[in-house]
Amino acid sequence: MPKAQLQYLSDELAKLREAKLYQRLRVLETEQLPVARFDGREVINLSSNNYLGLTTHPKLKQKALEAIEKWGVGSGAVRTIAGTMSLHMALEEKIAKFKHVEAAVVFQSGFTANAGTVQAILGREDVIISDELNHASIIDGCRLSRAEIKVFPHKDIEACEKILQELACRNVRKLLITDGVFSMEGDIAPLPALVELAEKYGCIMMIDDAHASGVLGRNGRGTVDHFNLHGRVDIQVGTLSKAIGALGGYICSTRDTIEFLYHRARPFLFSTSHPPAVAATCLAAFEVLEEEPQLIEQLWANTRFFKEGLKKLGFNTGMSETPITPVIVGDAALAHEFSRQLFTEGVFAQGIGFPTVPKGKARIRTIVTATHTQQDLTRALEILERVGKNLRIV
């Protein structure tokens, strides 16, 4: 039954269809694997964040099953009431130790970790200085905090310092915040320079390492470890949903900051904690990071191979320096057509346009994993070349 009060939403959808920007959800019919079946078609999967193949790691599956047997399927409450199991505490202790910080707290997702933390620690009187390409969850956290938001052009240290100089005469609390690895560009934040600015101008320094967790630094410890900046970044965010292979997000900081979040971070206070199987899986994943460093080595070997292949073919891969490699084509309709034809030929690389990336910067995004074989990647490059030539992208 059509509902008059919802008609405007149907109208908006019709506009998307007309502009060829309408997207159906692709449905995965197998495990999340480097070659997987989506919508009935077997494709080389260049769209998952499953960097190390941990979504199907035998040890993680075993730990999840054992946790269900021992603890059941749900935690039954929010963390602050009855939903803190000893498994949750063990995971947080493991993360804190792994990251060489005083304490860590786990949220239901990286999104809630960011949004909940930024909102909790800042208020109306404060100022946030934020890279223009920061993730949506940071932006939402900034808005929810009601603090003043100053955005600097992507990785522009001079522009960032100019904002800080202008703020120097105002007695306000300041948060300098950046993604560690930018999710659509695949480039790395200039963290050493940002940390120096934060120290010089007395800012809280916060980094969102969602795409760096399990990818950068020793054993995947993240950007702070990659740049050897231990002790100089006040708040680190990580995700358990990408390389770690399950679901969740975490905050690393001082013990008091973490305890403050127990009292003020709204997703922690008002949304139920992880099922025990998820906590157990994540705990095991940190052990795997330490036991199987060859996974990260393979991830980077595959990254180098695939990136070089794309460049040799003449694709515009932008500023990427990580396993995330965009192929920028400009026009959003072209990006979606590129993605559609690739899929038909056997490669799944998601098309991405506005508002996820700026207008005129539409792209397909590729992500290689440790579990792709050389053969998978060679075949993917052949298909990219054929379709790219067909569409006159190269």
Ligand X SMILES: *Cc1c(COP(=O)(O)O)cnc(C)c1O
Q: Which residues of this protein are in contact with ligand X, per CB under 6 A?
A: 109-111, 114, 135, 137, 179, 183, 208, 210-211, 239, 241, 249
Q: Which of 174, 242, 274, 307 is catalytic?
A: 242
Does the annotation count 183 as an active-site position?
yes
Tokens standing for 115?
Answer: 């949004």
Does the annotation count 242 as an active-site position?
yes
Cβ 318 vs Cβ 358: under 8 Å: no
By beta-carbon proximity to ligand X, the closer residue of 48 and 239 is 239
* Residue 209 C-beta: closest distance to ligand X, Å: 8
Residue 330 burial class via C-beta count within 10 angstroms: exposed 0-12, middle 13-18, buried 19 and up:
middle
The amino acid at residue 53 is G
CA atoms of 394 and 316, how far apart (whole Å) = 9
Q: Which of 211, 274, 361, 372 is catalytic?
A: 211
Beta bridge partners of 363: 328, 352
CA atoms of 214 and 212, how far apart (whole Å) = 6
* Residue 112 C-beta: closest distance to ligand X, Å: 7
By beta-carbon proximity to ligand X, the closer residue of 275 and 388 is 275
By beta-carbon proximity to ligand X, the closer residue of 35 and 210 is 210
By beta-carbon proximity to ligand X, the closer residue of 163 and 367 is 367
* Residue 77 C-beta: closest distance to ligand X, Å: 21
CA atoms of 251 and 206, how far apart (whole Å) = 10
By beta-carbon proximity to ligand X, the closer residue of 161 and 208 is 208
Nearest to 149 by CA among 169, 171, 168, 124: 124
Alpha helices in the chain (DSSP H): 7-18, 58-71, 86-99, 110-121, 136-145, 157-167, 191-201, 223-226, 255-264, 266-270, 276-291, 294-313, 332-345, 374-390
Beta bridge partners of 69: none
* Residue 352 C-beta: closest distance to ligand X, Å: 13
* Residue 302 C-beta: closest distance to ligand X, Å: 20
Helix (H) or strand (E) holding 231: none
Does the annotation count 94 as an active-site position?
no
Closest-CB residue for ligand X? 110
Q: Which of 183, 213, 253, 320 is catalytic?
A: 183
* Bond before 355 cis per omega within 30 degrees: yes
* Residue 248 C-beta: closest distance to ligand X, Å: 6
Cβ 173 vs Cβ 126: under 8 Å: yes
By beta-carbon proximity to ligand X, the closer residue of 179 and 185 is 179
Residues annotated as catalytic (active site), given as ranges: 183, 211, 242
